[in-house]
Amino acid sequence: MDAPLVSGPHAHGAVSVSRTMVLVMLALLPATLFGVYLYGWPALNLLLITVLSALVAEGTSLRLAGKPVRPYLLDGSAALTGWLLAMTLPPWAPWWIGAAGSFFAIVVGKQVFGGLGQNLFNPAMVARVALLIAFPVEMTTFITPQPLFSSNAPGFLQGLAISLGSGVQIDMVSSASTLGHVKTELTRGISVHNALAPVYDLLTGFIGYMPGSMGETSALLILAGGIFLLFKRVITWHIPVSMIASLMLLATLFHGINPERYIGPLVHLLSGATLLGAFFIATDLVTSPVTAKGQLLFGAGCGALVFIIRSWAAYPEGMAFAVMLMNALTPLIDHYVRPRVYGRDRKGEPLVYEGKPEPPP
Amino acid sequence: MKLFRITGGVHPDDCKTLTAKHAIETLPLPDLLHVPLQQHIGSPAAPVVRRGEQVLKGQLLAHSQGMISAPVHAPTSGRVMGVGNYPAHHASGLSVPTITLQPDGEDRWANNTAIPIDPFKLPSEEIAARVSAAGIVGMGGATFPAAVKLNLRTRYTLKTLVINGAECEPFLTCDDRLMQEQAADVIDGIRIMAHALGVEKVLIGIENNKPDAQSAMDAAAADYPDISIARLPTRYPMGSEKHLVQTLTGRETPARGLTADIGVVVHNVATALAVHDALRCGRPLVSRVVTVSGSAIRNPKNLRVLVGTPVDDLLNYCGGFTSTPARLISGGPMMGQRLPGTRVPIIKGSSGILALTHEETVHDAVMPCIRCASCVRVCPCGLVPLEMANHARAGDLEGAAGFGLMDCIACGSCAYVCPSNIPLVQYFNYAKGELTARQRAEHKQAETRRLTELRSERMEKQKQAKREALAKRRQAAKAQQQKKAAEADA
Ligand code: SF4
Ligand code: SF4
């Protein structure tokens, strides 16, 4: 018989932290594989680098903090942070981008706050924003797809060279992401329509055969992963739906007013980090609100901020900033938005029934 | 019948197949019975027998004291071996006042019991009085004296009697079997209670994982149009009184209130059977059906057991353990308590004895909260368990209370789904205990302060009165003097 007094329940559902993390990784797998296929060896190298550095950073921090290393390394949260970070990086980014990003994510984004479950901001997004500010060029150099084993694709050794940061060939194939392209063209006075026409069609966007971050381009596969997570109840629909809805609503509105200046809702939906953000980043359990209503608010806020940043700020993509801004509001949302307690009204007073009790229907 | 949705809840593996098909067997007379004087919520009963006394089955051993209490009767005929202390059927394992009885093997009923007459001719007070005298308590586990609930009609307008046959705890099948095997008697007990309460309508809620019980009760209630059987979705905690009432009537019981506030009284099926036995046969509550289950039990069974039978006897009858159980529990796995050992006796509220294997129970390491919100989603009371736990752990009990700690029904749904294995209910129980103790202490302090203030006020008044009296006397004396002086002058 085991140790001291334990209250019920004496049974437990088949859930654990590592199971949750593994399910998220499984959901990321299709989009990841597609990214590796699309951008070749360097993309795979990048993924391995971010995951490994995240694990090393986590292990070192835990040791320094005098916490048990094994259970926390095995819970999968650090590996997932590294993985998510890789998904949002340019696929041919050199190794030091990945390593620095992961270290920053784990140490500054997570361990400084007290480790698992304590961080205010999504660690991967903390790292992404830091990288974007520190290395603007590397962080916005995307490549046109070079599918593995296709004639132009870098071989394994060439891939290593790219990952090690010798810029072979990158210039030949580099390209801007859709959103980046539109932003540049707009500043040159070219309308959204004319800017998009030669480089973009929705079907491509849906499948993901285009320049972009490693795991962000395929709307189809990310959606599949997201639905898997919903099905497995790791996340609920509230954040993805409210986020996409608010983004689409604003985009429809402004696109309707001035289609030359504002990108249409479908382009918003299918490019950049919209879907990855809605299903995998904004839904990060630790940094999003815990009540259904709070999550709706949070998602709507993220969507609106993404739209605002993409449309009016200097950056073509706004997911990381938007999510971090809303992360900062999460404690506030959780403080004010709470479920109604059973037997009480919204103000917390016990329910009062008028007159005599009625017979049940 | 239209049912209403409740929020939250979980779907644990119900594990009922272990015993669902096992008809109730009667456990042979044990060698010794340990009958605790307190098997109910309220004040303990006071013993009326002495060591060495010969008693008959059903004879009063201890009478109830106070408004909320219940008497205790001899479970069989035999000799009182002693009135002393014995380990309680409780996680603490503390000893409590207990009467030990040695059965004489004859199991002879006392004929001191009231001559049964048609209970439907009795006034409500008389039915409640007989239920009270029979020592009947809520047998679903709450052990609240049943008669007190029957007397609610004097203070509330009651419309509906709800019978709890949900049995939503995994493993337990004792109510299921009772409803199948003694449906007519259960229905009779229900009708007697409905008569005593003067309600128009009876709703019997039975979860859909008990189709046989549903049809047996349906058949037994066929002649009574005011009794309906509700087929409930299988979902824990459907058997929570307030949630059951909401599912059936669509109305929420106000916080801190009783279901009687919305015109409903809830009783358990086993309680109904006990009422039948008491009113029709004049027999007090001396036995109950207990599910003995769990994978560590060799032959899981449903047993009819005399109150006071040591758990050991039940386990032996079921073939003992297949392996050392990781945990021994009284009640269901969700809300049951750990048992400190197997010597403790069965009491009126024991619905199950479970011996769980390592695989069946909680054993993973506790991790930090990852704010996954699962606990918030499943809480049937609309609470935010993670916040309550955070505050409770930090010692901020008021903070925890601010998040609704006192509205928590300790159902355990939150801890059941917590991926980090956080013992949430443990925190809540601890915090509730502390808070109640603190409130009591505060109340006591306030009371002392009030009394001191009263006393000093009284003293002050007395002094004042004295001063006034003195002043008056002086004045009178003065006046006298003046008068004398004036007279002298004149
Ligand atoms: S279920 Fe556990 S880990 Fe998830 S939010 Fe609640 S307490 Fe935290
Ligand atoms: S134990 Fe309390 S907090 Fe947890 S789910 Fe049940 S009512 Fe909610």
pLDDT for the residue B116: 67
d(CA B286, CA B237): 28
* B391 in a structural domain: yes
pLDDT for the residue A361: 39
Q: Mean pLDDT per segment of 10 residues, for chain B of length 490 residues? A: 87 92 94 91 88 92 88 94 88 87 91 72 91 91 87 89 94 95 95 93 95 94 93 93 93 90 94 94 93 95 95 95 92 91 92 92 87 95 94 88 90 94 92 86 83 84 86 84 73
- Chain B positions in Cβ-Cβ contact with residue A291 (cut-off 8 Å): 373, 376, 384
d(CA A30, CA A32): 5
Residues in contact with B471: Cβ distance below 8 Å, sequence separation at least 6, in sequence order: none
CATH of the domain at A240: 1.10.3430
State yes or no: pLDDT of A135 exceeds 50. yes
**DSSP structure class, residue B47:** E
pLDDT (tens digit per residue) in A19-65: 999 999 999 999 999 999 988 888 899 999 999 999 999 999 999 98
- Chain A positions in Cβ-Cβ contact with residue B361 (cut-off 8 Å): 10-12
Q: Which ligand is nearest to the CA of B387?
A: 1
pLDDT band, residue A176 (cuts 50/70/90): confident
pLDDT for the residue A107: 94
- Segment A252-265 shows an average pLDDT of 90
CATH of the domain at B224: 3.40.50.11540
* A226 in a structural domain: yes
* A225 in a structural domain: yes
Q: Is B386 in the pocket of ligand 1 (CB under 6 A)?
A: yes
**Cβ-defined contact of A10 to B329 (cutoff 8 Å):** yes
Q: Is B384 in the pocket of ligand 2 (CB under 6 A)?
A: no
* B53 in a structural domain: yes
d(CA A9, CA A12): 7
* B295 in a structural domain: no
* B166 in a structural domain: yes
**Cβ-defined contact of A15 to B419 (cutoff 8 Å):** yes
* Residue with CA closest to ligand 1 atom 6: B375
Residues in contact with A227: Cβ distance below 8 Å, sequence separation at least 6, in sequence order: none
* Residues B372, B246 within the same domain: no
The larger pLDDT score, comparing residue A333 to residue B460, is at A333
Return the amino acid letter for B462.
Answer: Q
Among residues B254, B288, B322, the one where a domain terminates is B288
C-alpha A334 to ligand 2 mean position (Å) = 18
**DSSP structure class, residue B331:** S
* A1 in a structural domain: no
* Residue with CA closest to ligand 2 atom 8: B379
Among residues B247, B266, B288, the one where a domain terminates is B288
CB atoms within 10 A of CB A80: 22
Mutate to test the pocket of ligand 2, among B6, B235, B391, B425 (most ligand atoms within 8 A of CB): B425
Residues in contact with A170: Cβ distance below 8 Å, sequence separation at least 6, in sequence order: A92, A141, A143, A162
Residues in contact with B482: Cβ distance below 8 Å, sequence separation at least 6, in sequence order: none
pLDDT for the residue A271: 81
Q: Could you tell me where the beta strands, DSSP code E, fall in B104-257?
A: 160-165, 201-207, 227-232
* B321 in a structural domain: no
**Cβ-defined contact of B369 to A117 (cutoff 8 Å):** yes
Q: Which residue blocks in B43-122 are alpha helix, DSSP H?
A: none
pLDDT for the residue B416: 94
Among residues B259, B288, B317, the one where a domain terminates is B288
C-alpha B145 to ligand 1 mean position (Å) = 37
Task: Note the ipTM here.
Answer: 0.87
**Cβ-defined contact of A358 to B263 (cutoff 8 Å):** yes
Overall number of domains in chain B: 2
**DSSP structure class, residue A166:** -
Q: Is B163 in the pocket of ligand 2 (CB under 6 A)?
A: no
Which pTM does this prediction carry? 0.87
Query: Which candidate, B332, B328, B309, places its Cα nearest to that of B320?
Result: B328
pLDDT band, residue A179 (cuts 50/70/90): confident
Give the distance from residue B262's alpha carbon to the nearest chain A alpha carbon, in angstroms.
5
User: Residue B309 in contact with residue B53, Cβ under 8 Å?
Assistant: no
* A272 in a structural domain: yes
pLDDT for the residue B276: 94
Overall number of domains in chain A: 1
State yes or no: pLDDT of A359 exceeds 50. no
Select the residue from B14, B374, B390, B393 to test the A interface by mutation, using most A Cβ atoms within 10 A.
B374
* B193 in a structural domain: yes
User: Residue B248 in contact with residue B201, Cβ under 8 Å?
Assistant: no
pLDDT for the residue A5: 54
* Residues B124, B241 within the same domain: yes
Place of tokens 């998510």: A84
C-alpha B428 to ligand 1 mean position (Å) = 14
pLDDT (tens digit per residue) in A93-117: 889 999 999 999 999 999 999 999 9
pLDDT band, residue A358 (cuts 50/70/90): very low
Place of tokens 């003067």: B198
Return the amino acid letter for B121.
Answer: K
C-alpha B419 to ligand 1 mean position (Å) = 7
Q: What share of chain B is helix, strand, coil (3-state, %, to 5)?
A: 40, 20, 40
* B349 in a structural domain: no
* Residues B173, B74 within the same domain: yes
Range of the domain at A84: 17-336
* A81 in a structural domain: yes
pLDDT for the residue B28: 94
Range of the domain at B168: 16-104+115-288
Q: Is B209 in the pocket of ligand 2 (CB under 6 A)?
A: no
